[in-house]
Structure 1
Amino acid sequence: MPQTLPQTSPLGISPDLSLDADFDLNKYLGELKLEVETALDESIAITYPEKIYESMRYSLLAGGKRLRPILCIAACEMLGGDRHAAMPTACAMEMVHTMSLIHDDLPALDNDDYRRGKLTNHKVYGDDIAILAGDALLAYAFEFIATQTKNVPPDRILKAIAHLGHAVAATGLVGGQVVDLECEGKADVDADTLTFIHIHKTAALLESCVICGALLAGANDTDIDRLSVYAKNIGLAFQIIDDILDITATSEQLGKTAGKDLVAQKVTYPSLWGIETSQQKALELVEQAKAQLVGYGKLAIPLMAIADYITTRQS
């Protein structure tokens, strides 16, 4: 059933949420992105049958912000975990995300020709291989967590695998995609239904990135509750900004076809609220997200800075 925007739990304090002036988010994102890119490149070798591995690598290594694996690592480190222990799970998050993009671009779904400034997978390898490449990436993501995670207790790894599975299945990404398809062309889609779609289609995987990183570090129930609210809020803010950029940015800026929502007759946050109100809603969600990180001190600065980045990004 439709879901309303998540609200923060009262923390009983009025925190100073200002960031450390010495923290350089661009440097942090740049350095971690390089580490993630290296790990992703090493994660899949080309072997027989070459075409499927080439297709998997084509989309997995096509660039992007690598925000999801970075969120996984940042959450793990905030709770005292090691980024090397989190890296296999971080890579798995990008594999799952890549699968969702490959499948989303197919003619049966969004039918897009470009992604991240390059031809989409099915335009290069055909619909059949693109479907199989997505399937292979999804399966391999779970294998990669299970076999490549080192120096983490097995029960934590199992919890992370279970959380990711829940986030991708009909309970998460797939379920959100189904409702999204059912709502295309309908003029009576309300804000609660739209939020249900994006809590599942967009925020669920972002939440899993954060929660799985935290689980690997030994997060307790309070940590999980707070980080879940943080991640759902930035996930919805991310989608609101995506909807705005689909209207205001060019295809060159986005690296994919602009204006697709209008063509597909999709209800979006700007179509319901207008651009200005949508921007304000995104800012409110980010502030609520940051409030959940109070008590973690300077270790929370990367996650706070990433939350702010959500509303200022241009692509």
Structure 2
Amino acid sequence: MDTAWNWRAIFWFSAAFDGTVFALVLFLLPETRRTIVGNLSIVPKNWLSRAPVLVLLKKRLVNDKSTLMPKTSGNFNPFTSLILLKNFEVPLTLFPCSLVFSTWSIATVTLSTSFVQDYGYSTLKVGLCFFAPGVASMIGTLSSGKLLDKVYRRMKKNYLNKNEALPSEGNGTPAVPFNILKARLGYYPVPALSVAGFSLMFGWCISEHVNIAPILIAVFMMSVSTMFPMSSVNTLLVDLYPEMSGSAAALNNLFRCGMSAIFMSCLSKMNSKMTIGGTYSFMAGVDVAGIFLILFLIHNSTSFLIKRREKRLKQGLPV
């Protein structure tokens, strides 16, 4: 679009595409909040919640009010997400993951600017090069979810099999809780090391103006590897705080996007002072340093989970 028309065409197309998606969501996605529609068998009272697609769901609308969840009381607080930071495991997981995401984010910026300035590529050619990280992100997202489920099921099965032999507390609760931290973060060092290694390859290949093949391979592998920490940390926070799942996900987005913004704002100065190769050597170093925070958390996970369970039981929260 930029090549055939001008840069404004990109935004005209985006506006039309976003408007189409919005219309599809408005008409085809029904209300799913259980305090309003239960298990999607109740017609919402408010007409704003009645999507036209309900016409096709008449057989499901049996008005089963027993499936309604009670409405939670409380005032809206935009800073609820930040409350989670008082729990030390939250920043210990968010900080390393945000560093990995920042490395990947600035790599995509460097990819576009370097291919234009140093390699003389047109906008169209640069766009084609972005198929590598785009496809890799999809592969990483799908495969990381599958791996998370597989590891969780295996560890949960082993835990349940051993649970009978474990000593229990007076109320029948196992003395040793299921290690959700290890289940979600146990393989974190592998993709984080992959991001660090391929960021070195990416930075120095661009710095030395080599053929684009190893550069695209590096950014592809970085993209695949970055999706694993993102999925694991987000899933872990929701597992730990199911009553604040939205806030946990929002805090994860705030951390990773905020960290990326900081590094992007410093990227040009980093490149001028350290060269592109030096910049990505530095990012590889901080990514590796972040792994030690995750390893520290996993090493102390059992004692942490026991204390966490006691605290939540006193507060009447699910464990």
Q: Mark yes or no: TM-score above 0.5.
A: no
Which of these two proteins has the greater Rg computed from alpha carbons?
A: 2
TM-score, normalized by length of structure 1? 0.29
TM-score, normalized by length of structure 2? 0.28
